Structure formats: structure tokens, C-alpha cells
Structure 1
Amino acid sequence: MPRAASLALPALPAPAQWVALILAAGLAGQLFSAAHVPAALFLGPMLVAIGFGVAGASIRLPKALFQLGQGTVGVMIAHAMSLSVLLMVLQDWHIMLLGTLLTVSLSAVVGLVLVRYAGIPSHTAAWGTSPGAASVMVAMSEDHGADPRVVATMQYVRVVLVVMVGALVSHWLGASVGGAQLQASASQAQGLNLTDIALSLAVIGAGVWLGSRLPAGVLLVPLLLGTALQLSGVLQIALPGWLVAFGYGAIGCYVGLRFDRPTVLYVWRHLPMMLLASLLLIALCALSAWLIAVWLDKDYLSVYLATSPGGLDAMAIIAIDTHADVGFVLAMQTLRLFGVILTGSFLARQVIRWSGRP
């Protein structure tokens, strides 16, 4: 046997494949972070894992690790649920509810367009266009029978477009978008208390165990449990950088390793329609933001970032850099995230029913 063939990925023993995957995924995540790529710790490992899957790797990430990744993301969201955010929601609940309903409804319309004209299965199209945190939607789509590979592609194509368009809109409106805040997140390890870290890990473990038999429970139960404990003062959620990297990396590798050559060809054929659908959703949300801004007599940039169908983290970073109303942006994005998590399965069923294509 030629030496090159003996070193081919499928021929390597499983431990060697795991070592190669972990090293390559970690390196890709760090390179993407250094380049300020949105969701770098998810995208880097996912792209590496796709390469491994297409190359014929025999390893698969255990679902238990995937679930722990979901639980970590849930506790990360709980970290953002401060009392000031909840008070903002209570104060302007009717406006935020309207904005949330508009964005979610528009995403369902775009999902129908993809089903009708791109031939993407309705369940996958519904989750792929859902305007929640991308990694959350990918994780939930797996629990509800959609194809997480295609959902991940649709979600992260939109994330990149939303960030690019958000930067352009900020520039056109006279704000400057910088990169100083791109590394700021709940995962900062400076000054973390070991007791809080241990309690946060316990919340993740207990939440995943309690929610393992509920639809999307491994995400929702840690989210709700972490939020309740943090707001009650029992703990301050503390997530070190390695844990955040594990959460995103586990979800990314689980999804990426399931890609094979037929799946890549399928995604490539539908990529133009995915791009058009993402731009359509961004444009419709921008129009609804203009209507809400006029109605409230509020600055357009803050409302645009609050209603934009991008991730909560990315929109909060842009809001900080452009001196927009960060509280308003974070509150509406958080409310929408909860709304999508709680109604995602229902909306997916409606897209299936309206499209007439199970």
C-alpha cells in the first residue's frame, strides 16, 4: 500500500482522528477569533469537522457531549439575563412584543419562500430562518427532527451578512464600528470566582440531566435554572473561556462530522437562494425597524440592531461600539430569543402546514 494511502484519514485509528480533530478545531477557532469572525468558536470547529466528515472520518461526537454543549450555551444566555434587562422588558413590553412578533413572522414568510422556490424541506427551512441565536437554533433543530447541517449553514450565512450589513448601516448613519469589544463576552475569565465556576458547572450538569427528556430541554432547563439562581443572588454565573470554547466547539463538531460529500453538494446547490433569503429577511426587518423608530421617535440604529435577525452577542457588540441604546438592544434581542425558543416548534409546524410539503 502506498504511504499516502496509509496516512489517509479513514485509515487512521480513532484516537489519532480525535487528536487531529481537537487540534485542528481549536486552532481554527482561535484563528477565526483573531480575525474577528462572528461566532468564531462555533464556525471554526464546525468547518474543520465538515472537512473531516467529507474526507471520510469514522469518528462521531457522542450526543452526551453535544447536550452538554447545549447546556453551556443555555447558561451563557442566562448570564445576560440581568435585572436591568428584565426591567427594560417590563417597561417597554408592548413595543418589544410587537418587534418580536414582526421579526418572527417575517422569518416564517422567508422560510416559506425557501420551501417554495429552493426546494429545502419545510422543517429545515423553518429552523434555518428562525431569528434566534444561531448556535441555539442549530441545537434545537436537532431535537426537532430538522437537518442541523443545513440549518447551521443557513443560520451562519445570515449571521455573517447581518454583521456586515449592521456595520454598513452604522457607518451610513454616522456611527463608527470598532473592534475593541469583539472579545468581550460572558466567557471572560478575569476575576472569576472558583465557587461561582463550580456552581455554574453544576447548573449545566443538573440542567442537562433534568431536561434530557424534554423537547429542547437540555438548552431551556439550564437557561431557566441559571437565570433564576442568578437573579435570586444564589450565584453569579461564571464561565471560563475553555468552557465556552467547549460548548461552541462540541455543537460545531457534532454538526460538522455529520456532513458528507452528498450533503456538501446539496448545500452548494442551494447557497444562492440561502443568500437571497437572508438578505430578504434583513431588508424586511430593517423596514419594520424604521416603522417602529418613527412610531417611538427613537434613533433608528438602536431599533435596527434590536430587530436585526442576528445573534444577541453580535448585535450587543455593535451596539456598544456605536454608542447605541445597549439596554434596549439587549432587552429586545433577549425577549426574541426566548420567544423563538418557546415557539420554534410551533412555527416549524405552521411552515410545514402552509407550505403543504411535509
Structure 2
Amino acid sequence: MNLEDKKTRFLITLVLAFIGGVLFTFLHIPIPWLLGPMTAVLIGSRFQAIQVYWPVQIRDAGLVILGYSIGLSFTKEAVIQIAGKLPLMLLFTLLLISFCAGIAFFISKLSGIDYPTILVGSIPGGLSQMITFSEEVKEINITIVTFLQVTRVIMIIFLVPFLIYGPFFNNSTSGSTIVIADQKVHASLSPTGLLFAVVCIICAFLGKKLKSPTPFLLGPITGAAILTLSGLHGPELPNFMLDLSQFMIGAYIGLLLKPEKLQHKTKILTLAIISGLVMVLFSAGLSMLLVHYFEITPSTSILSLSPGGADQMAILAHDVHADLAMVTGFQLFRLLFIFFVVPPALTFIFKKKSLFR
């Protein structure tokens, strides 16, 4: 693909994504600048006459913006609150991963696809890590893993907002919830804002160099959180910047699902949708336990335990004024657990091939 071709495809994708965002805003659909571009690009990319392209660097820039905003919520009070719930985070992470492993077993039996492939495709919240892992294990079908992971993420991004805005969840905040300040100032006009911006960008590229999970999200979160905990107060981003970050991330997600590369599309898609729905319902059930025993709002609880990505759940947390630090804490804990613990565990298990014969 030459430079002119890339430019043309990018402009087409940009227009598609913008139309999707405007349409979803007009229809009052939750998080319109994430779901709208994602849906428009996903549908548009299915037509051969429409050639789409979205540079990963734009998605990464969106993650940096989001990461900075998340990092501001990690005040001393929030960190103390999260630290006290670390055993709980471990327990719920193990429960969710164990449940997904069980679902993967039944899908494997129904589809006739080997269990390791389905298992890796079902691990919640670790899309990039599991795709990378599947590339290193010859027995695993990376196309199916990618399809299952992306289908789950897209389903969760669509389903969770409607659960959050539905009658079963209360979007009001409690006294224990840490809410983003209402006052918005322009970071570009503040010396402190420039310091935060430089540190976040450096941390993002440092995270990439160190091969950390989702470096362009985790790096800025870490940088902004460290500065916040040191006593500095970074300026809050205006709403249009958060909408822009959603737009940059949503268009990229819309390009990920490629069913044309998959055999037995209908059967696998059906099973992927069913498994994604069951995962969401199970995480919603766990979230009710969290609400019952701890001072956490229902919205914060389900976003904390939802088997989606930290970036998408943080966007939703922003939108409904949930406890952003708590949601991010739970999501990043599971992300780090999946990154550091799950691949070695899976490698050990897959060596016992007799388990899957």
C-alpha cells in the first residue's frame, strides 16, 4: 500500500467514523464517540468497494489521552482504597478466569475446535496478550483466537453500556465514590499540564520499550498517577478531548474483526456471541456480590468486573461518573495478572497434551 493509497483509505475511514459518531450522538446511544465510529467502520469494512485504514499511532494517541485522564484519579485516598481491596481483586479475577475456562471447555466440545485455542480465545481482558501468546504456540489457531477475543470485546462494549443505563443499575455516586472534578481547564495553557503531558508521553514510550502490557494506556496512567500522588494537580481535560480519544480508539476497534478469514463463520460466531453474553451475565452477577458486601455503586462494580478492556471500561466510567480509580484498579490488576501469570500457566498446562486428547 503506497502513501497516496493510505491517505485515501484513511480519509474514507475518517469520514465513516465521524458519520457513525454523529449518528450515535443524534440517537442518544451511550458513549456515541466510541460505539459510533466502531460500528460505522466495522460495517463499512465489510464492503469490498470501501477500503479502510486507521493508523495504530492514532489509536495509541487516544490511549495516551485516556491514560492521562485516568491517572489523575489516583489520589492518595483512592490508592489506599484500592490497596485494601487487593485480595478481593485476586479472588474475583480467579473466579472470572476459571468461569471463562469452563465456558471454553463447552464451546470446544460443541465446535470441535481444540480446547487450547478456545481457552486462549476466551481469556477475558487480555486481547493483545493472548494474540501474542497464540503466535508463540504452534498448536493454537491464531485466526480463531483473534476472532473470539475481538468478538468478546465488541460485544462487551455494546452490552455493558445498556446494562449500565438500564433499570438494574444506579448511576448515582455514593460518598465513597471518587468523582472527576467538574471544573475543566485547558491543559495546554498550564505549565503543570505541560509537565503531565511530557511525563505521560515519556512513560508511554518507556512502557513500549520495556514491553509492558498496553503501554500507551498503562504508561500514562502510571506517570500521571505518580505526579498526582506527589502532590501535583494536573488539569482536567475538557469533554471534547475525551470524546476525541474515544473516536481515535473506536475507529481502530472497528477494523479488528475480519470474519472473511475464518472457516465455519456462522457456527463460531454464534458460539462466540453466546459465550460473550454468558461472560457478561456472570460478571454482572459477581458485581452484585461486590455491591452487597462493600460500599461500591452498581455502575462501579460491573465496570470493575466486566471482562472487557481497561480502556473501554474507563471510558464508560467517565461517562456515568463511576469511581474511575476503582474501575481502573480492578481492570489493570486483571490485565497484569493475565500478562504475568496466565501465559506461563497456560504454557505449563499445554505441555500436558494428554489433557486435551
TM-score (norm 1): 0.69
Residue of structure 2 equivalent to 1:64: 57
CA separation of 1:249/1:77 partners in 2, compared to 1, >3 Å: closer, same or farther? same
Deviation at 1:246, TM superposition (A): 4.5
1:211-290 counterparts in 2 under 5 A?
Answer: 211-213=207-209, 214-216=211-213, 217-236=215-234, 238-241=236-239, 243-257=241-255, 259-260=257-258, 262-263=260-261, 268-289=266-287
Residue of structure 1 equivalent to 2:40: 48
1 CA distance for matches of 2:71 and 2:235?
A: 8
Q: How many residues align?
A: 322
1:207 matches 2:200: no
Deviation at 1:304, TM superposition (A): 5.3
CA separation of 1:305/1:156 partners in 2, compared to 1, >3 Å: closer, same or farther? same
Q: Deviations over 1:50-86 (max 9, x none)?
A: 3443334555333433433333333333233233321
Deviation at 1:237, TM superposition (A): 5.1
Contact 1:123 1:349 in 2 (8 A): no
1:198 matches 2:221: no
Q: Secondary structure at the match of 2:45?
A: helix
2 CA distance for matches of 1:241 and 1:124?
A: 39
Q: Residue 28 of structure 1: which of 20, 33, 36 is its match?
A: 20
Deviation at 1:348, TM superposition (A): 5.0
Deviation at 1:229, TM superposition (A): 1.4
Give the structure, 1 or 2, with the largest relative contact order (CA under 8 Å, sep 6 or more). 1
Q: Which moved more, 1:138-147 or 1:235-244?
A: 138-147
1:347 matches 2:349: no
Q: Residue 329 of structure 2: which of 321, 335, 338 is its match?
A: 335
Q: Gapped runs of 5+ residues in structure 1? A: 1-11, 179-184, 321-325
Contact 2:62 2:248 in 1 (8 A): yes
Letter in 2 for 1:19: L
TM-score (norm 2): 0.69
Contact 1:67 1:208 in 2 (8 A): no
1:91-170 counterparts in 2 under 5 A?
Answer: 91-118=84-111, 119=113, 122=116, 126=120, 129-130=123-124, 132=125, 137-138=126-127, 150-168=148-166, 170=168
CA separation of 1:158/1:240 partners in 2, compared to 1, >3 Å: closer, same or farther? same
2 CA distance for matches of 1:241 and 1:297?
A: 31
Contact 2:123 2:130 in 1 (8 A): no
1 CA distance for matches of 2:252 and 2:219?
A: 21
Deviation at 1:224, TM superposition (A): 1.1
Deviation at 1:228, TM superposition (A): 0.8
Residue identity (%): 17
Letter in 2 for 1:218: F
Deviation at 1:142, TM superposition (A): 6.0
1 CA distance for matches of 2:110 and 2:317?
A: 30
Deviation at 1:258, TM superposition (A): 5.2
